[in-house]
Amino acid sequence: MSTLITNIAELMTQDLEHRVLKDAAVVIEGERISWIGAAADAPAADDAVDAGGRAMLPGWVDSHTHLLFAGDRTAEFEARMAGESYSAGGIAVTMNATRATADFDLTRLALGRVAEAVSQGTTYLETKTGYGLDVDHEARSARIGSTVADQVTFLGAHLVPAGQDADDYTDLVCGPMLAAVRPYVQWADVFCEEGAFTAEQSRRVLLACRDAGLGLRVHGNQLGEGAGVQLAVELGAASVDHVNYLAAQDVKALAGSWSGWDPATGAGERGTVATVLPACDLSIRQPLAPARALLDAGVQVALASNCNPGTSYTSSMAFCVTTAVLQMNLSVHEAVRAATYGGALALHKEAGRDADGERAVGSIAVGHRADLHLLNAPSATHLAYRPGMPLTYAVWRAGARAR
């Protein structure tokens, strides 16, 4: 079954050529894109959809979420808005609520959050464990996560539970907990920050997880300058996320990690993506991550929602894009690219081999997964020009109409 989507006023492909096509069309065949080009040249298809002169983007790729949780942290948010500073300790509140929630209800809550994200144009997303923080509950979160998200990250090293020795807990994360989650996850992460895990503890976690065959991610440099960025680059992590406080050597290290990669062809060794999380920055009243400086230095940047109950309870990637344009000095094209191709790059899904069905996401190109986001606007510029407006008109996820 093939579907022609035609009369697209602006098609922002976010492919390696950064093409923006006018008066364009796309053909979907199964779950893949089989053709793109000028509407006047479009081939015949089994079905046709008139885009009505609207703009089309790749679906958002949200590469950093925490969807597996129960409970509410409104009181913490209100206190922060009244002037209290953020600390990682609030994670324990969510841990207790999540542990007390049955599997069915935890799954239902997570699926509801995924549906909210898809309704706003997100077509591919990662989520993390990290609110179980013991062997059984982390394994449960990993298992449920594998049924609701496209990729799952093990974040047992989110916080040391109250009353436990930090080194003993780190041993638990590196041993029995890692073994329990391993069948369900693709990545491992660690909160390398004062009040969470030290540089040495973080290194132990990352090395153990790498030895177990997992890809690496790091929560780093969120609350102050620290070891997170340098550790991520040293160990070849796919991304380091938050990056609010960066020294010159951190930016240099991130830029250097991409020295062997050709952005024009996608060939060569990927470096460490800097993932910025502006909704979180606003919620905890931190300085926005220096996305402009990172891009100018040659670092590959991703935008993600960080959807979680404590510091960023939103899955609106459009809000993140708008903030990146209006407050982080990115162009509309740069912000959309960070929220699509950048997220795919952070998840190692920016490229795929059409012959074996490894579909790339985050860009619109022949052979890639048909993840498409049609805006109720004639251009992507409206995302920043009309901030806060519900501009998602239609969504296709792996070729199926999702909205």
* Residues 6 or more apart whose Cβ sits within 8 Å of residue 5: 25, 26, 27, 28, 48, 49, 51, 56, 372, 374
Rounded Cα–Cα distance for residues 80 and 240 (Å)? 25
User: Do both 29 and 79 map to the same domain?
Assistant: no
Q: Characterize the bridge pairing of strands 392-397 and 372-375.
A: antiparallel
Confidence at residue 358, expressed as pLDDT on a 0 to 100 scale: 79
Rounded Cα–Cα distance for residues 218 and 201 (Å)? 12
Quick one: which of 52, 57, 61 has its CA closest to 8?
52
User: Do both 159 and 210 map to the same domain?
Assistant: yes
User: Do both 204 and 298 map to the same domain?
Assistant: yes
User: Do both 248 and 305 map to the same domain?
Assistant: yes
- The DSSP H or E segment spanning 339 is helix 332-339
Domain of 393 in residue numbering reads as 2-58+354-401
User: Do both 144 and 28 map to the same domain?
Assistant: no
CA quadruple 116, 216, 357, 129: dihedral sign? negative
The answer to whether residue 189 is domain-embedded is: yes
User: Do both 44 and 89 map to the same domain?
Assistant: no
For the stretch 323-344, pLDDT in tens is 999 999 999 999 999 999 999 9
User: Do both 305 and 392 map to the same domain?
Assistant: no
β-bridge mates for residue 27, sequence order: 4, 35
Tokens of 199: 């540089």
Q: What is the mean pLDDT of each run of 10 residues along the chain (403 residues)?
A: 97 96 98 97 97 98 98 90 79 92 98 98 98 98 98 97 96 98 98 94 98 98 96 98 98 98 93 98 96 98 97 97 98 98 97 76 96 98 97 98 93
Tokens of 122: 């997100």
User: Do both 79 and 39 map to the same domain?
Assistant: no
Tell me the CATH number at 312: 3.20.20.140
Confidence at residue 166, expressed as pLDDT on a 0 to 100 scale: 96
β-bridge mates for residue 47, sequence order: 3
Confidence at residue 275, expressed as pLDDT on a 0 to 100 scale: 98
Confidence at residue 85, expressed as pLDDT on a 0 to 100 scale: 82
* 3-state helix vs strand vs coil in the chain, percent to 5: 35, 25, 40
Number of domains present in the structure of the chain: 2
Tell me the CATH number at 378: 2.30.40.10
Orientation of helix 91-99 relative to helix 135-148, angle to 10°: 80
Confidence at residue 84, expressed as pLDDT on a 0 to 100 scale: 84
Confidence at residue 98, expressed as pLDDT on a 0 to 100 scale: 96
Confidence at residue 353, expressed as pLDDT on a 0 to 100 scale: 65
Rounded Cα–Cα distance for residues 106 and 71 (Å)? 10
Rounded Cα–Cα distance for residues 56 and 312 (Å)? 27
Confidence at residue 354, expressed as pLDDT on a 0 to 100 scale: 65
Query: Among 330, 364, 382, which residue terminates a domain?
Result: 330
Confidence at residue 219, expressed as pLDDT on a 0 to 100 scale: 98
User: Do both 361 and 260 map to the same domain?
Assistant: no
